[in-house]
Chain A
Amino acid sequence: MAKSDQILDEHIASEYKYGWFDPIEMDTAPKGLSEDIVRFISAKKNEPAWLLEWRLKAYRHWLTMEEPRHWAHISYPPVNFQDIIYYAAPKKKEGVKSFDEVDPELLKTFEKLGISLEEQKRLVGMESNIAVDAVIDSVSVKTTFKETLAEKGIIFCSFSEAVHEHPELVKKYLGSVVPHTDNFYAALNSAVFSDGSFCYIPKGVRCPMELSTYFRINSAGTGQFERTLIIADEGSYVSYLEGCTAPQRDENQLHAAVVEIVAHKNGEVKYSTVQNWYPGDKDGKGGVYNFVTKRGICLEENAKISWTQVETGSAITWKYPSVILKGDNSVGEFYSVAVTNNMQQADTGTKMIHIGKNTRSTIVSKGISAGKSNNSYRGLVRISRGAKNARNFSQCDSLLMGDKCGAHTFPYIEIKDKSGIVEHEATTSKIGEDQIFYCNQRGIETEKAVALIVNGYCKEVLNQLPMEFAVEARKLLAVSLEGSVG
C-alpha cells in the first residue's frame, strides 16, 4: 500500500473509531470551571501526574487573581468564566454541502484575498471529494515535512504529543518564561490549556523551512486555550509562523493563548503572526476577545528573538509579545501593524526587559484606526541596573482614518543604568489629502489609493514577514480597511 493511502486509512479509521465504537463517550466537558474540570482535561489528554499538579497549581493561583479590567484602554462586559466550555475534543464540523450555504460576504472576502477554491472549501468546512483530497494533500505534506525535520533532529509536534514523547523537555521549559503566576489569563491558560504546538531545534541546526501551525491539521478547533513552546538550542535558527490570513469564523468568544520562546546561546527565533479572528459586526456585536500572553527569553549570549505581528481581527486584542534580554549581547525585536475598524479595540505593544550587557532592542509599531475603533500602543522598555550599554529604539506611529476613532500611545520607559540609551518617538496623523489627490489624479480610485498609502506606511513591518505571508498580509490590510474611506 502506498504511504499516502496508508495514512488516509489511518485517518479515516480514527474518525470511524470516534464516531462509531463509543458514541456515548463524552468529548465535551460540562460548562464551567472547577478543579474537577482541570482534572477532566488532564485525564482526557492522558497526562502525567506532574502536569496535572502544574495545572492545579495554576488553577488555585488563578482563583486568587482579579480579572485585569481597568488598566488597558479597552472596555467590554465582564466575562463569565463559568459559562465557557473548557474542553471540547477536536471534531469534524457540521459540513456544508455547497457554496450556496456559505455566507456570501465570507466568499467575497476569500475572493479578495485570492484564496484558492480548495482552500476556501477547507475553510468553510465543505464536504466534497476535493475537500478530502485536500486533507490527503495536507497529510502527505505534513509527513514529508516531518521526515525532513526529523532528519535534522527537529521536534515539531502538538503539545500533547510532546508531553508524552519529550516529557523532559516540556518539564524543563514549560512555565519557565510565562509562569502560571504571571497574569490572570496566563494562569487560566496554564490550568485549562487544550493543546498547542511544541518546537525544539537542536544545537547548531538551522531549520530548513518556515514552521507553521497551518500545516498541522490537528491544531484546528483547539484554538481557544492554545499553548505554544518553542526552544532554540545553541546556535540554532527557526522561523515560526502562526495564524492564517483567511477570516476565521469562530464561535469561541474568549481566546487566552500563551506562547513561550526560549533562545539559548547564539540561538535565534523569528515568530510571525497574522491574526484575523472574527472582529464582530459593524455594531460591535460578537467577535473574539483575544487575550494573549507571548513572551520570549534570550537566555544566553548572542541570542535573538524577533516578533512580527499583523493584527487585523478580533473584537478586542490584548497582547504584548515581550522579550527578556538576559544573555549578554542578546537582541530583541518587535514589529507590529495593528488595524482596527468599526467597533474593534486593540491594546497591544511589547515589553523589552534588558538585563544582560550590550543588549539591544528595536520596536516599530504602526497603528491604524478607522471607523469607531480604538487602537492603543502600550509598551515597556526597562533597562535594569547592571545592563551596561543597553540600547533601545522605539517608534510608534498612528494613522487615523475618520473622526470617530481613537489612536493612543502609552509607552513606559524605566531606566536604571546610566550607560543605557533609550529613544522613543511617536507620531499621530491622518492620510494626507494631497497624497490621495495625487493618486486620484493618476487614475487610482480613492479606496485603492488608501490601501496603497497604508501599505507604504506599514512597509517597514511587512518587510519583516516571510514572503508568502507578506503578500497575503498586504491584501488583508486592504480588506480590513474597506468601507472606512469616504
Chain B
Amino acid sequence: MSTLSPPLKKNDAESFLKELIDSCKENGFSQLRKTGTENFLKAGLPGRKEEAYKYAPLTSVLNNLGTGKPQSAASPGDALTYLFKDFASGNALSVFLLNGTIIKVPENLPKGLSIVPLEETSPYAKNTGRLSTASSDPLCQLNNSIFSSGLVIHIAKGSSIEKPIVVFNLISSDSPALISSRLLIVAEENTRAGIIEFSDTLRQNHKILSNEVQETFVGKNATLFHYRWQTDCEMGNRINHQLSEIGEKGVYDTMNITTGGTFIRNNLSLFLNGENIEAHLNGFFVGSKNRHVDTRTVVDHLMPRCESFQLYKGIAADKSTGVFNGKIFVRRDAQKTNAYQSSKNMLLGDEATVNAKPELEIYADDVKCSHGSSTGKLNEDALFYLRSRGLGIETARTLLLHAFAGEVFEKIRHEEFKELIIEKIRHIVGGLNTSHAG
C-alpha cells in the first residue's frame, strides 16, 4: 500500500486521482468504468467556482488520502457488536457491509427479496450505471470509474417485504483511504419494502473518504422507503450520490440524518418518470466542531400530476457548517405538479455557518410550487416561557432543539426506527455546546 504526499492544490489532487484510476483495473463493468473515467478526466475535480460545489471545501477533503485499497481492520465480529445490534435483531433483515463488501446477509430471506453482491454477470445488475453515467457530478463519475464493491437489493414483482431491510454500511481501513462502493436498489412493480441504513465510519485515527453511489429504481405502483443515518467518526468523510428513478404511481420516501463525520455531502437526484408519483425527501443534521454537512437535492418533475415534498432541517453548533442546496425542476410536460421544499436551520455557534440555496426552475404553468427557507436562533420567548415554568436552562434548550428536530422525524414510517432516532437525537442535542448567554 502506498501513501502519496498530500495533494494540496487542485492539480495535485487530480494527478493523485488519475493514479488511482490507473491502478484500478477491476474486472467487470468495463463500459461503465470506461465512460466514468472519460467523464471524470474531462470534468476534473470540481473547484469552488463550480456552482454545485460552491460551498464545499473539496480539496481539503481529498488531502492526505492514500491510494491503497482499504483493508478490513475491523473484523465482522466488531461490526456485529456494534451499537445498533439490538435494533438489528429479530424484527429486521440485517445486512452487514464493510467498505461496500457484504460480510453478512440473513439466511432465510423472504420470498421475492434478493440481496447479492454487485457483479456484472448477476441478472439483478442490469440497471447498474443507468442513472450514474448521466450524472454531471465529477465525483459520481469517479465512482463509476473506480468502484471496488457493491450490493444489490432486489425486490421481485408483486412482493411485499414486511420486515425492514437494515443495512449496516460500515467503513474501516488501517491506513488513509478513498473507498468507492455502490448500492443498487430495484423495487419492481407492485412491491412494498423499506430500507434502513446505518452508515458509519468506525473509529480510527487516519482520514477516510467514502465516495458512494446509490441507484434506486422504484417501479410502477411500488412503495419504498429508504432512511439513512450517518454516524461517522471524526476521521470519516462521506460523499453520497443517491440517484433514484420513480415510475408511475410509485411512492418513494427517503430521509438522511447526519450526526457524525467531518465532511458529509449528500447528493440526491430524483427523477419522477411517470404520472401520479409521490416523493418525500427529508433530512436532518447536527453540526458540531468542524463538521461540514452539505445536502444537495434535485427533484426533476418530468411527467404530469406528481407531487414532491421536501423538508430539511439542521442545527449548526461550534464551528460547523450546514449547506442546503435544493432544486426543483418542473419540465414542460409536467403540468399539475405540486412541489414543496422547505429548509429550516438553527445556528447555535458563534462561528457556525449556514448556507442555503433553494432553487426553482419551472417550465410548466399549471403548477403549484413553493419553497421556504429560514435560519435563526433559539426562540428567546419560548425559552423564557419554559424557564418561567421552572425548567432549567439546559433542559429548556434541549426540549426546544428536540422539538425543532421532531418535525422531521414525525415523517418516519417505521415506528421502531422513529423511536430510536428520537431518543438518540435527544441525547445528541442535549450534549451540544449552545454557548448561550441566557
Contact = CB atoms under 8 A, between A and B. Distances in A.
Contact of B375 (A405, A406, A421, A430): A421
A424 B356 CA distance: 10
Interface string B254-288: 00000000000000000000000000000000000
Contacts of B353: 414-416
A418 B315 CA distance: 11
Contacts of B368: 427-429
A69 interface: no
B39 interface: no
A422 B360 contact: no
A347 to B, nearest CB: 12
Contacts of A419: 377
B352 A418 contact: yes
Interface string B343-357: 001011111111111
A413 B371 contact: no
Contacts of A406: 361-363
A422 B375 contact: yes
A403 B369 contact: no
B360 A408 contact: yes
A409 B371 contact: yes
B372 A425 contact: yes
Given A408-B362, A424-B374, A418 B367 contact: no
Interface stretch (A217-225, A240-248, A394-402, A448-456): A394-402
A423 B365 contact: no
B359 interface: yes
Interface in B356-401: 356-377
Contact of A420 (B332, B347, B359): B347
A421 B371 contact: no
Contacts of B160: none
Q: Which interface class (under 10, 10 to 19, 20 to 34, 35 or more) fits B?
A: 35 or more
Residue among A73, A404, A405, A426 facing the most chain B CB atoms (10 A cut-off)? A426
A25 to B, nearest CB: 47
B145 interface: no
Q: Which interface class (under 10, 10 to 19, 20 to 34, 35 or more) fits A?
A: 35 or more
A407 interface: yes
Given A415-B347, A418-B352, A420-B347, A426 B358 contact: yes
A405 B365 CA distance: 8
Contacts of A429: 367-369
A418 B347 contact: yes
Contact of A418 (B332, B349, B369, B374): B349
Given A404-B332, A418-B349, A411 B370 contact: no
Contacts of B376: 420-422
A82 B120 CA distance: 56
Interface majority SS (helix, strand, loop, mixed), chain A: strand
B415 interface: no
Contacts, number: 116
B359 A408 contact: yes
Contacts of A425: 370-373
A426 B350 CA distance: 29
Contacts of B371: 409, 424-426
Contacts of A407: 360, 362
Contacts of B107: none
B128 interface: no
Interface string A428-440: 1110000000000
B366 A430 contact: yes
A407 to B, nearest CB: 5
B53 to A, nearest CB: 13
A411 B354 contact: no
Contacts of A412: 355-357
A410 interface: yes
A417 interface: yes
Contacts of A418: 347-350, 352, 377
A469 to B, nearest CB: 30
B347 A410 contact: no
Contacts of B416: none
Given A415-B375, A424-B372, A424-B374, A409 B360 contact: yes
B22 interface: no
A107 B367 CA distance: 37
A427 B367 CA distance: 10
B370 A427 contact: yes
A152 interface: no
A401 B360 contact: no
B205 to A, nearest CB: 31
Nearest to B51: A71
A411 B372 contact: no
Contacts of A421: 374-377
A404 B347 CA distance: 41
Given A385-B351, A411-B373, A426-B370, A403 B335 contact: yes
A403 B332 contact: yes
Contacts of B359: 408-411
Contacts of B357: 410-413
A415 to B, nearest CB: 5
A385 B373 CA distance: 20
A417 B363 contact: no
A424 B349 contact: no
Contacts of A426: 358, 360, 370-372
A356 to B, nearest CB: 17
A426 B335 CA distance: 19
A387 to B, nearest CB: 12
B347 A427 contact: no
A398 B376 CA distance: 26
A398 to B, nearest CB: 7
Contacts of B373: 411, 413, 422-425
Contacts of A409: 358-360, 371
B375 A428 contact: no
A403 B331 CA distance: 10
A483 B222 CA distance: 45
A421 B362 CA distance: 28
Contacts of A385: 350-351
Contacts of B360: 398, 407-409, 426, 428
A424 to B, nearest CB: 4
Nearest to A70: B51
Nearest to B365: A400
Nearest to B367: A428
B208 to A, nearest CB: 29
Interface of A: 71, 73, 385, 398, 400-430
Given A403-B332, A425-B370, 5 more contacts: A400-B367, A403-B365, A409-B360, A415-B375, A419-B377
17 contacts: A401-B365, A403-B332, A403-B364, A403-B365, A408-B359, A409-B359, A413-B354, A413-B355, A413-B356, A418-B377, A421-B375, A421-B376, A423-B372, A424-B373, A426-B360, A428-B362, A430-B367
Interface of B: 51, 332, 335, 345, 347-377
Top-4 shortest CB links A-B:
A418-B347, A400-B365, A421-B376, A413-B356
